[in-house]
């Protein structure tokens, strides 16, 4: 085992969980055992909540300009440790080193945004009647929780950590049991940056801890990122217990490719979007709708896909189950009459025989009723459907229950605007394969890709992590009294 057994992080200290149950943490790169992760109990969560609750009065009363100083230092520490954090991310998640570097750079950008919060959370003040002032302030909620998935071991935690904590909350995070190591390293950096003990805590575990978070009386808000199936469970359970909840779910993102699109640029973007992070991105292109004759572009997409080689510029998928599931989707589509133009099944990487790899896969002549057209595959696979008109392409996109992202590839501005207006997704790209809005713009999908109000990052996160206090004041007796004051 490469790393020591993982422990919970409560009140600034590593502590053993109250149970002896653990899971193995296996590297998808080569199948090696990295560590073990404890499956904590609700007692461990309770300890973490107590620590967070105790830290809250001092942390929340600190002026925000002081709180963000921690994040200026944290940003510097992320930069300083970029290489080591990236290596750890690749090791536990399987993505390529370059993709991990991009992930840590995104953490730096997210932290940079948090350091700008003092400029954004200024309240409002107005003399609403003669001598009477109304004023609003953003007040932190208290103890909050963040539940995160496996596909971005550092970035998704950093969607919530800097903003929620800089805004004055104390946090408990539940990392994915598949990639629990990176979060532990983030805790060390936060401590080194000067974050007081108890403000940030980690409780490892599985669904039992997630359910305990949703039920805990002293947790005020729950942020969740993961599959739609679990997002629904968490959203229902947390809101049933009167908590604020924002639950981001899975995706099936459509790219609409028009015949006038720049062929090389489109092919490179489509191939990169479907295969980046081995297709394990909620923003990955998973379905393409070719409108009219786009054969020349599909040929180039296949050429690009063939340049993507597992173990070189394509990372591993998270585990054997995932590999089997993705390959099953491809085989089923083939049996149903789709044509596999580039086949990523049975991928092997020399010297890493126990690694879990799927090569880039391009499937053509998919019909909208096939599972590969409708379901989230979460692997480096693109399913191509064909239509005669833009409206037919939009009808396919609109029929998806998801709504994270959609993109259009064209040189026609009017048609691009037509599609932006009609696509049923929260994030739209024009000639962009992965239309992630960068800070300060907020990230969030629609439909079954997100439950709750607002978005998770950017300015929108201020509303989620704070509540508004409205005060009405009058100091001069001569202002008198009327029915409004």
Q: Which residues are catalytic?
A: 282
Binding flag, residue 404, ligand NAD (CB under 6 A): yes
The closest residue (CB) to ligand NAD is 226
**CA 131, 476, 123: angle at the middle one, nearest 5?**
45
392 dihedral zone (left: phi>0; alpha: psi -120 to 50; beta): alpha
Q: Are 403 and 448 in contact (CB under 8 A)?
A: yes
Considering only residues 161 to 180 of the shown chain, the ones binding ligand NAD according to CB under 6 A are: 174, 176-177
29 is written with which tokens?
């790169």
156 interacts with ligand NAD by CB under 6 A: yes
Identity of the residue, 42 or 266, whose beta carbon is nearer to ligand NAD in the bound complex? 42
- Based on CB atoms, which residue is closest to ligand NAD, 59 or 150? 150
> With binding defined as CB under 6 A, does residue 227 bind ligand NAD?
yes
Provide, rounded to whole angstroms, the least separation between the CB of residue 135 and ligand NAD: 35
In whole angstroms, give the CA distance from residue 408 to residue 415.
9
Helices 64-80 and 181-192, packing angle to 10 deg: 120
Rg of the Cα atoms in the chain: 24
Identify the bridge partners of residue 450 per DSSP, sorted by sequence position: 248
Q: Is the Cβ of residue 226 or residue 359 nearer to ligand NAD in the bound state?
A: 226
426 sits near ligand NAD (criterion: CB under 6 A)? no
Tokens representing residue 223 in the block: 């942020």
Task: Determine the Cα–Cα distance for residues 186 and 77; give it in Å rounded to an integer.
Answer: 10
259-273 per-residue burial string, b: 16 or more CB within 10 A, e: under 16: eebebeebbbbbbbb
| 8-state DSSP, 310 | B
Would you count residue 250 as binding ligand NAD (CB under 6 A)? yes
| DSSP 8-state symbol, 106 | H
Contacts of 153 (CB under 8 A, 6+ apart): 88, 89, 92, 93, 103, 175, 176, 179, 181, 182, 183
Q: Could you say whether residue 356 binds ligand NAD (CB under 6 A)?
A: no
**373 counts as binding ligand NAD under rule CB under 6 A:** no
B/e letters for 232-244, b = 16+ CB within 10 Å, e = fewer, are ebbbebbbeeebb
Output the smallest distance, CB 429 to ligand NAD, in A. 15
* Ranges within 438-477 binding ligand NAD (CB under 6 A): 445, 449
What residues numbered 299-328 form the site for ligand NAD, per CB under 6 A? none
Nearest-angstrom CA–CA distance, 370 and 199: 47
Q: Among 207, 331, 411, 473, which residue interacts with ligand NAD (rule: CB under 6 A)?
A: 207
Judged by CB under 6 A, which stretch of 141-149, 299-307, 461-469, 471-479 contacts ligand NAD?
141-149
Measured from the CB of residue 456, what is the shortest distance to ligand NAD in angstroms? 7
* Least Å from the CB of residue 469 to ligand NAD: 30
Shorter beta-carbon distance to ligand NAD: residue 7 or 387:
7
* Alpha carbons 8 and 184: distance in angstroms, whole number: 8
Total binding residues for ligand NAD by CB under 6 A? 27
Which residue stretch of 77-85, 205-213, 260-268, 463-471 sits at the interface with ligand NAD (rule: CB under 6 A)? 205-213
- Using CB under 6 A as the binding rule, whether residue 279 contacts ligand NAD is answered as no
Alpha carbon 92 to its chain centroid, in Å, reads 17
The DSSP result for 128-159, as a single string, is EETTEEEEEEEEE-SEEEEE--SS-TTHHHHH
Select the residue interacting with ligand NAD from 103, 220, 327, 376 (CB under 6 A).
376
Residue that the structure tokens 């049933």 belong to? 240
Binder among 206, 260, 303, 334 for ligand NAD (CB under 6 A): 206
233 near ligand NAD, judged by CB under 6 A: yes
Taking contact as CB under 6 A, which single stretch among the options 35-43, 85-93, 133-141, 244-252 is the one that binds ligand NAD?
244-252
Residue 282 found at the interface with ligand NAD (CB under 6 A): yes
What whole-number distance in Å separates Cα of residue 126 and Cα of residue 134? 6
Residue 149 binds ligand NAD, judged by CB under 6 A: yes
Extract the tokens encoding 273.
């979007």
In the complex, the smallest distance separating the C-beta of residue 208 from ligand NAD, rounded to whole angstroms, is 8
In the complex, minimum distance from the CB of residue 146 to ligand NAD, in angstroms, rounded to a whole number: 10
Q: Could you say whether residue 329 binds ligand NAD (CB under 6 A)? A: no
Q: Segment contacting ligand NAD (CB under 6 A): 65-73, 143-151, 263-271, 303-311? A: 143-151
Of residues 193 and 381, the one with the C-beta less far from ligand NAD: 381
Q: Which is nearer to ligand NAD, 40 or 410 (CB)?
A: 40
CB 152 within 8 A of CB 103: yes
User: Which residues partner with 137 through β-bridges?
Assistant: 469
The verdict on 249 binding ligand NAD (CB under 6 A) reads yes
- Residue 355 tokens read as 């690694």
Binding site for ligand NAD (CB under 6 A): 147-151, 156, 174, 176-177, 206-207, 210, 225-227, 230, 233, 248-251, 282, 376, 378, 404, 445, 449
């Amino acid at each position: 085992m490469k790393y020591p057994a993982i422990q919970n992080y409560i009140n600034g200290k590593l502590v053993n969980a109250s149970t002896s149950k653990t899971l193995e943490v296996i590297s998808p790169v080569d199948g090696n055992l990295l560590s073990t992760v404890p499956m904590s109990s609700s007692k461990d969560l309770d300890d973490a909540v107590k620590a967070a609750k105790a830290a809250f009065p001092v942390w929340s009363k600190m002026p925000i300009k002081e709180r963000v100083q921690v994040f200026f230092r944290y940003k510097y520490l992320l930069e300083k440790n970029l290489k080591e954090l990236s290596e750890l991310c690749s090791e536990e998640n399987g993505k390529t080193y370059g993709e991990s570097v991009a992930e840590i750079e995104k953490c730096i950008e997210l932290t940079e945004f948090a350091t700008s919060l003092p400029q954004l959370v200024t309240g409002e003040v107005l003399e609403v009647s003669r001598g009477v002032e109304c004023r609003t302030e953003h007040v932190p909620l208290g103890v909050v929780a963040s539940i995160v998935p496996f596909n971005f071991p550092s970035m998704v935690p950093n969607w919530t950590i800097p903003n929620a904590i800089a805004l004055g909350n104390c946090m408990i995070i539940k990392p994915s049991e598949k990639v629990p190591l990176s979060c532990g390293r983030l805790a060390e950096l936060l401590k080194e940056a000067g974050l007081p003990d108890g403000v940030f805590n980690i409780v490892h575990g599985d669904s039992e801890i997630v359910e305990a978070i949703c039920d805990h009386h002293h947790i005020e808000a729950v942020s969740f990122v993961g599959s739609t199936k679990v997002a629904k469970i968490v959203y229902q359970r947390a809101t049933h217990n009167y908590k604020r909840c924002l639950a981001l779910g899975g995706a099936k993102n459509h790219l609409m490719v028009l015949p006038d699109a720049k062929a090389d640029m489109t092919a490179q973007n489509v191939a990169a979007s479907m295969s980046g992070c081995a297709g394990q991105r909620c923003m990955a292109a998973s379905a393409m709708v070719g409108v009219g004759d786009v054969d020349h572009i599909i040929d180039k997409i296949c050429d690009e896909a063939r340049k993507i080689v597992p173990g070189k510029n394509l990372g591993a998928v998270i585990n054997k189950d995932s590999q089997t599931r993705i390959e099953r989707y491809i085989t089923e589509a083939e049996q149903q009459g789709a044509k596999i133009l580039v086949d990523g099944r049975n991928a092997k990487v020399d010297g890493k025989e126990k690694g879990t790899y799927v090569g880039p896969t391009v499937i053509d002549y998919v019909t909208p009723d096939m599972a590969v057209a409708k379901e989230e595959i979460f692997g480096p696979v693109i399913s191509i459907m064909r239509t005669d008109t833009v409206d037919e392409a939009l009808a396919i996109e609109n029929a998806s229950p998801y709504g994270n992202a959609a993109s259009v590839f064209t040189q026609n501005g009017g048609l691009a605007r037509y599609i932006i207006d009609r696509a049923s997704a929260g994030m739209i790209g024009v000639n962009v394969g992965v239309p992630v809005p960068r800070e300060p713009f907020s990230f969030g999908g629609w439909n079954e890709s997100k439950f709750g109000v607002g978005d998770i990052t950017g300015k929108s996160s201020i509303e989620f992590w704070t509540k508004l206090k409205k005060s009405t004041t009058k100091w001069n007796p001569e202002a008198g009294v009327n029915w409004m004051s």
